Amino acid sequence: MTSTIVYTIISLSILGAVAAIVLYFVAQRFKVYEDPRIDLVEAELPAANCGGCGYAGCRNLAETLVKSETFEGLYCPVGGNEVMARIAGILGREAIEQEARIAVLRCNGTCEHCPRTNIYNGAHSCTIASALYSGETGCHYGCHGFSDCVLVCSFNALHMDPVTGLPVVDDQKCTACGACVKACPRNLFELRKRWKGDKKIYVACMNEDKGGLAKKNCEVACIGCNKCFKVCPHEAIVMKNNLAFIDSDKCKLCRKCPPECPTHAIIEIGFPARKLKIDEQIAESTVNTKKEE
Amino acid sequence: MLKTFHKGGIHPPENKLSAQKPVQDLPVPRSVAILLSQHMGAPAKALVNKGDDVKTGQLIGQGEGFLSGNIHSSVSGRVAKIEEVQDVSGYRRQAVFIDVTGDEWENNIKRDLVLDKEIRYDNAEILKRIAEAGIVGLGGATFPTHVKLTLPRGKKAECLIINGVECEPYLTSDHALMLEKGEEIMVGIQLLKKALQVNMAYIGIENNKPDAIDHMRRLALAYEGIKVCSLEVKYPQGGEKQLIQAIVGREVPSGGLPVDVGVVAFNVGTVFAVYEALQKNKPLIERIVTITGKGLKNPANFRTRIGTPISVLIEAAGGMPDNAGKVISGGPMMGKALSNTEVPVVKGTSGILILPEEESTRPVIQPCIRCAKCVSVCPMGLEPYLLMPLSQQSLFDRLELEHVMDCIECGSCSYSCPANLPLLDFIRLGKSNIGKIIRTRKK
Amino acid sequence: MSKLLTVSHSPHISNNQSIDKLMYGVVISLVPAFLVSFYVFGIGALVVTAISIASCVLSEMIIQKYLLKTEVRIRDGSAIVTGLLLAFNLPSNLPWWMVVLGALFAIGVGKMTYGGLGNNPFNPALVGRVFLLISFPVQMTSWPLPIASRLQYLDATTGATPLGILKEAVRNGEAVPDIMNQLPGHMQLFLGQMGGSLGEVSALALIIGFLWLLYKRIITWHIPTFMVATIFVFTGILWLADPTKNASPLFHILTGGIMLGAIYMATDLVTSPMTIAGMILYAIGIGLITVIIRVFGAYPEGVSFAILIMNAFVPLINKYIKPKRFGEEVKHG
């Protein structure tokens, strides 16, 4: 009995030792040299593998960062300036700073504002609906509401609001990686400059139809009336194809344009409530009572 | 044994509700909206302006470029506006709106219905007149006919195939046309044979139209080089490639055209339009449209002027049923569902189908159980169960390798799937994305 | 107030099939086999079948609801079919807790671990059966006597099946024609008067079910026909070569789980190939492996293992055997 055990132990030990030696030499022979800095850089990156940088995963970005001479065109939007500064320290290069950005949905065509003209019963996907026809409403530029963007966000920063039928961006979770921008077949998402307190002023409309038609189909459409363009002191507004666009890099959040807009297409978020003049307050309350009737 | 294509195919219920109804003339509506893009290729350029008076048959839109088509007024009256109107895709496109007064035709158009058998023109002249008349494929594809007749260099046609199959359920416009204008179609075939310089033409008709088969066979006896082939009732027998295989036994190669196997195919409606253009100088301004559906009081086949709003057709058939769920331009297998009934009739509108609410909602989607029904019914030998997830995941390289571009979008796969998967939805998406990639490659 | 129209991609009609209809079609086709099993094995058949179906459905419901937290889809009938087919592979005196374990394994490991319906590469009922066979070989190979054990369940009197008797006797060196005289005749085997698992006893009942499946277009005829034909041919060759050591092909086909396996287990939609050519190759493979195990292997019955082995080849078969495309580039001669 004991001899069986002894022989077993000896033979298995010899097998193990032989295997270890063979493996050692094979590992040496087929070793791939990798710059050790790649591991260090990768450790700094957020490991989300979201593709926001334009590369195939965090490791791929780390490799590219180590290999390239400058940081030109290389930036991790999820990590942001902090992470890029740390990486610059590791690699001994100049860090490039970029302004923080946030994804914004440029559409306010809720179920209430933009009524349906037909019922879509195809595959539940915005891309498929866009490929099929002009959409469930009279506005052929607005949000379908079939959640392609929600599915593609790797940071859970988007969810569909069942009442409005529009996706909502969670400012705290959004990393401006750009996945939703690519996913939306109507190009409704934009990565705009991010301000402190997540203040935003933007035109929530992409409708290029003439004013009368746009307004007929959606209460809060941009009708291209030019009023905002005329009042902007910073030349931040561009009018093109019956649509206003506020350039977030030029906008100074002076708040002059939102009250000008006759259809309330310009949305301002994160600001204290405006003090309305007395006659404006009366006008507002009459409008509200009329609606209730 | 009836001839048919070899691979796949399904047998949806025929529902030819308007089959025995003779063609009625739909009265000219009060106003029409004639779209400037009713064909594949570049839209036509408007030649008239607001306030102009036009006559029936007058040229109002000029085709631009090689792949384009002319547009003619289908009514007489005054141009009210040139504005956008929603077409079958829901998008708004340019159209000429005409308020109708009377029905005055252009002087050179012969309005008599006497059969004119004499062929006066040579093949170049035939092509020119077809182009001028704005004739496009009336089977639904709306490919400009004069372009189809201009064969690519090095290719020769051996025979003509005329598509009288009408395999889609519910539709009967081609059937009605053959019964009423059979001999005119024969003359049209002779004209097209001359244009292509071929001696033989085959007319394919499905076996569920025995009266049309008998009628056309009897007429063909008096004409040389025309043979009627009776085909098994199977969808999609009317697909060009399937029809060619059934009649002459040749397979159009993947990525190729029918002329690669020496065949050129036309729909019977197109052939009749050719007859009218050459023998009566009449451009393409009206066509037979089937208006049908189980809830309609009076399903029928109407000779309709191009530009008539669909609501007029529906009224003529007894009005919109209360339980209408979907209004489809075309047949139930490949037609486009409309979002409203003000869409105007275009050259490619073969029929309007109204499905009741109970039949308008897709059943619940279940997981794919690899039952292979989609593979067994695909007439092109593709594997839809594989193409759908590849398209969903945007794996375009593999999709192209799986020959998704061969798909004829017949819908047999989605029809047969027990799990009610939206197979064709995703296959179409894959095709359109790969089409874009291929176009950028060529550049 | 006009109603809104509905819009979707074409086609706008469908053949109104559903997975539920397919599954319940399979259940209906198994009714003749169940009636025969009830007639032959009595209470045991009823108990094992009921417990198996209930456990499968319950397992699926619990796993979907509490473990995976997805929609509970037991209504589609696939768990019921798995339960029924698992029961048909078991002896009628199997203790109830073993049946429950087998069901849990079949659904939990055989189906749910791969992602639920449609994603499993192996036939779940067979996975459960083989699990039980390997874990409890004694109970899984003790077969209650037909007819005699009708009113008994756990205490049923048992005896060897014709295949078992054949295997033992050949091992002992007896000549096959002598063995055959002791066994039930072909007609009895066909009708179901033999021992075995619940579903395999009556070839007649199974063939009736097969015809129903064909009529309802749930399966095609290719897999069962080619599988049985392959077994027939190879056992025939062996029988002609040496009739003293090998039983006749007809005997082989009518005993054991070949008919049940050919008609119900090999044709399982999820785990069988997608093209006709692939199905034929698959069926021939199963037939071959079954014969090899039966003749040269230690087990008297080989169908379950044969099917599971060929299931593993199905993804490969699907990858290389594609349907012939229309307009495939043909080399011009």
Q: What is the pLDDT of residues C47-66, one digit of tens each?
A: 999 999 999 999 999 999 99
Residue B292 has φ and ψ, to the nearest 5°, of -150, 165
C7 touches chain A (CB under 8 A): yes
Q: What is the DSSP string of chain A?
A: -HHHHHHHHHHHHHHHHHHHHHHHHHHHHTPPP--HHHHHHHHHS------TTSSSHHHHHHHHHHHSSS-TT---TTTHHHHHHHHHHHHT-PPPP---EEEEE-----TTTS-BSEEE-S-S-HHHHHHHSS-SBS-SSS---S-HHHHH-TT--EEE-TTT-SEEE-TTT----SHHHHH-TT--EEEEEPPGGG-EEEE-----S-HHHHHHH-TT------HHHHH-TT--EEEETTEEEE-TTT------SGGG-TT--EEEESSPPP---HHHHHHHHHHHHHHH-
Residue of B370, B375, B385 to mutate, testing the C interface (most C Cβ within 10 Å of its Cβ): B370
- Out of C15, C76, C275, closest to residue B366 by CB: C76
- Out of B324, B336, B382, closest to residue C325 by CB: B382
Whether residue C293 is contained in a domain is answered as yes
Average pLDDT over residues B419-429: 96
B31-35 vs B92-100, strand pairing mode: antiparallel
Quick: pLDDT tens for B250-287: 999 998 999 999 999 999 999 999 999 999 999 999 99
Start-end ranges of CATH 3.40.50.11540 in chain B? 1-25+107-361
Residue C94 belongs to domain spanning = 19-140
The answer to whether residue C313 scores a pLDDT higher than 70 is yes
Rounded Cα distance between C272 and C290, Å, is 17
Residues C202/C33, Cβ–Cβ less than 8 Å: yes
Domains held by chain C: number? 2
C9 touches chain A (CB under 8 A): yes
Tell me whether residues A121 and C4 touch, CB distance under 8 A.
no
Per-residue pLDDT at A293: 43
**Residue A282 binned pLDDT confidence (cut-offs 50, 70, 90):** low
Q: For B1-25+107-361, CATH number?
A: 3.40.50.11540
Show residues of chain C in contact with B245, CB under 8 Å. 326
Average pLDDT over residues C297-318: 91
Average pLDDT over residues C261-273: 95
Among chain C residues, CA nearest to B376: C275
Q: What is the dihedral of CA C267, C272, C273, C277, to 10 degrees?
A: -30
C331 touches chain A (CB under 8 A): no
Using CB atoms within 10 A of its CB, is residue A15 exposed (0-12), middle (13-18) or buried (19+)?
Answer: exposed
Among chain C residues, CA nearest to B361: C6
User: pTM here?
Assistant: 0.89
Average pLDDT over residues B202-214: 95
Among chain B residues, CA nearest to A152: B393
Residue of C8, C10, C22, C70 to mutate, testing the B interface (most B Cβ within 10 Å of its Cβ): C10
CATH 3.40.50.300 fits A101-281, yes or no: no
**Residue C72 binned pLDDT confidence (cut-offs 50, 70, 90):** confident
Rounded Cα distance between B267 and B350, Å, is 11
Per-residue pLDDT at C332: 43
Per-residue pLDDT at C296: 85
* C277, C175: one domain: yes
How many other β-carbons are positioned within 10 Å of the β-carbon of residue B136? 28
- Out of C6, C274, C328, closest to residue B337 by CB: C6
Show residues of chain B in contact with C270, CB under 8 Å. 369-370
Show residues of chain B in contact with A132, CB under 8 Å. 89, 425
Per-residue pLDDT at A281: 64
A133 touches chain C (CB under 8 A): yes
- Out of A119, A128, A132, closest to residue C4 by CB: A119
DSSP C25: H
Tell me the shortest Cα–Cα distance from C139 to chain B, in angstroms.
34
Tell me whether residues B429 and A121 touch, CB distance under 8 A.
no
Rounded Cα distance between C250 and C234, Å, is 11
Residues C93/C158, Cβ–Cβ less than 8 Å: yes
Per-residue pLDDT at C333: 35
Element (H, E) at B86: strand B77-86
Among chain A residues, CA nearest to C6: A119
Per-residue pLDDT at B39: 92
Tell me whether residues C326 and B7 touch, CB distance under 8 A.
yes
Whether residue C327 is contained in a domain is answered as no
DSSP B402: T
- Out of A118, A123, A128, closest to residue C6 by CB: A118
Tell me whether residues A117 and B91 touch, CB distance under 8 A.
no
Whether residue C252 is contained in a domain is answered as yes
Among chain C residues, CA nearest to A121: C8
Least confident window among B33-37, B48-52, B241-245, C189-193: C189-193
**Residue A283 binned pLDDT confidence (cut-offs 50, 70, 90):** low
* C127, C178: one domain: no
What percent of chain B clears pLDDT 70, i.e. is strictly above it?
Answer: 100
Quick: pLDDT tens for B307-359: 999 999 999 999 999 999 999 999 999 999 999 999 999 999 999 999 999 99
Per-residue pLDDT at B300: 95
Show residues of chain C in contact with A116, CB under 8 Å. 4
Tell me the shortest Cα–Cα distance from B398 to chain C, in angstroms.
13
Quick: pLDDT tens for A13-58: 999 999 999 999 999 999 888 888 888 888 988 888 888 888 888 8
Quick: pLDDT tens for A52-101: 888 888 899 888 888 888 888 788 888 888 888 888 888 888 877 888 89
Using CB atoms within 10 A of its CB, is residue C307 exposed (0-12), middle (13-18) or buried (19+)?
Answer: buried
Tell me the shortest Cα–Cα distance from C6 to chain A, in angstroms.
5
Tell me whether residues B432 and A131 touch, CB distance under 8 A.
yes
Show residues of chain A in contact with C5, CB under 8 Å. 118-119
* Domain-ending residue, one of C109, C140, C171: C140
ipTM of the complex: 0.91
Per-residue pLDDT at A280: 63
Least confident window among B83-92, B128-137, B333-342, C70-79: C70-79
For C242, residues 6+ apart whose C-beta sits below 8 A from its C-beta are: none
Tell me the shortest Cα–Cα distance from C2 to chain A, in angstroms.
10
Q: For A36-91, CATH number?
A: 1.10.15
Average pLDDT over residues B395-413: 94
Average pLDDT, chain B: 94
**Residue B230 binned pLDDT confidence (cut-offs 50, 70, 90):** very high
For C315, residues 6+ apart whose C-beta sits below 8 A from its C-beta are: C121
Tell me the shortest Cα–Cα distance from C8 to chain B, in angstroms.
6
Tell me the shortest Cα–Cα distance from C333 to chain B, in angstroms.
15
Q: Which alpha helices (DSSP H) does B372-422 contain, by range? A: 373-377, 384-392, 396-401, 412-416
The answer to whether residue C164 scores a pLDDT higher than 80 is no
Average pLDDT over residues C222-250: 90
Residue B48 carries which side chain, given as an amino acid letter? V
Per-residue pLDDT at C251: 83
Show residues of chain B in contact with A209, CB under 8 Å. 92
Per-residue pLDDT at A35: 84
Per-residue pLDDT at A115: 92
Strand partners, B288: B303
Tell me whether residues B360 and A121 touch, CB distance under 8 A.
yes
Chains that touch B (3 or more CB pairs under 8 A): A, C
Q: How remote is the C-alpha of B270 from its chain's centroid?
A: 9
Q: How remote is the C-alpha of A258 from its chain's centroid?
A: 24
B23-25 vs A237-240, strand pairing mode: unpaired
The answer to whether residue C1 scores a pLDDT higher than 60 is no
Show residues of chain B in contact with A140, CB under 8 Å. 90-92
- Out of A116, A117, A122, closest to residue C8 by CB: A122
Per-residue pLDDT at C242: 85
Least confident window among A175-184, B35-44, B401-410, C163-172: C163-172
Residues 136-175 (B) with a CB less than 8 A from some CB of A: none
For C264, residues 6+ apart whose C-beta sits below 8 A from its C-beta are: C26, C30, C85, C88, C199, C206, C209
DSSP B78: E
Percent composition of chain C: helix, strand, coil (DSSP 3-state, to 5):
60, 0, 35
**Residue B102 binned pLDDT confidence (cut-offs 50, 70, 90):** very high
More confident residue, A108 or A275: A108
Chains that touch A (3 or more CB pairs under 8 A): B, C
Tell me whether residues C4 and A128 touch, CB distance under 8 A.
no
| Cα four-point dihedral sign A35, A39, A40, A45 | positive
Chains that touch C (3 or more CB pairs under 8 A): A, B
Closest CA to C76 of C135, C145, C23, C116: C23
Residue of A121, A134, A144 to mutate, testing the C interface (most C Cβ within 10 Å of its Cβ): A121
Residues B12/B332, Cβ–Cβ less than 8 Å: yes
3-class secondary structure, B79: strand
Per-residue pLDDT at A116: 93
Per-residue pLDDT at A286: 58
Quick: pLDDT tens for B382-394: 999 999 999 999 9
B432 touches chain A (CB under 8 A): yes
Tell me the shortest Cα–Cα distance from B158 to chain C, in angstroms.
18
Whether residue C65 is contained in a domain is answered as yes
**Secondary structure E strands in B269-389:** 286-292, 300-305, 324-329, 336-338, 351-356
Quick: pLDDT tens for C94-153: 999 999 999 999 999 999 999 989 999 999 999 999 999 999 998 888 888 877 777 777
A122 touches chain C (CB under 8 A): yes
Quick: pLDDT tens for A204-261: 999 999 999 999 999 999 999 999 999 999 999 999 999 999 999 999 999 999 999 9
What percent of chain C clears pLDDT 70, i.e. is strictly above it?
Answer: 98
Tell me the shortest Cα–Cα distance from B243 to chain C, in angstroms.
13
Tell me the shortest Cα–Cα distance from C4 to chain B, in angstroms.
8
Tell me whether residues A119 and C9 touch, CB distance under 8 A.
no
* C111, C193: one domain: no
B45-46 vs B59-62, strand pairing mode: antiparallel
Whether residue C4 is contained in a domain is answered as no
Using CB atoms within 10 A of its CB, is residue B161 exposed (0-12), middle (13-18) or buried (19+)?
Answer: buried
Tell me whether residues B362 and A127 touch, CB distance under 8 A.
no
Among chain C residues, CA nearest to A125: C8
- Among chain A, residues having any CB pair with chain B shorter than 8 Å are 117-118, 121-123, 125, 127-128, 131-135, 140, 209
Q: What is the dihedral of CA A89, A90, A93, A97, to 10 degrees?
A: -50
Residue spans of the domains in chain A: they are 36-91, 101-281
Do the first three CATH levels of A36-91 and A101-281 match, i.e. the same topology?
no
* C178, C237: one domain: yes
C5 touches chain A (CB under 8 A): yes
Show residues of chain A in contact with C6, CB under 8 Å. 118-121
Average pLDDT, chain C: 88
* Domain-ending residue, one of C80, C111, C140: C140
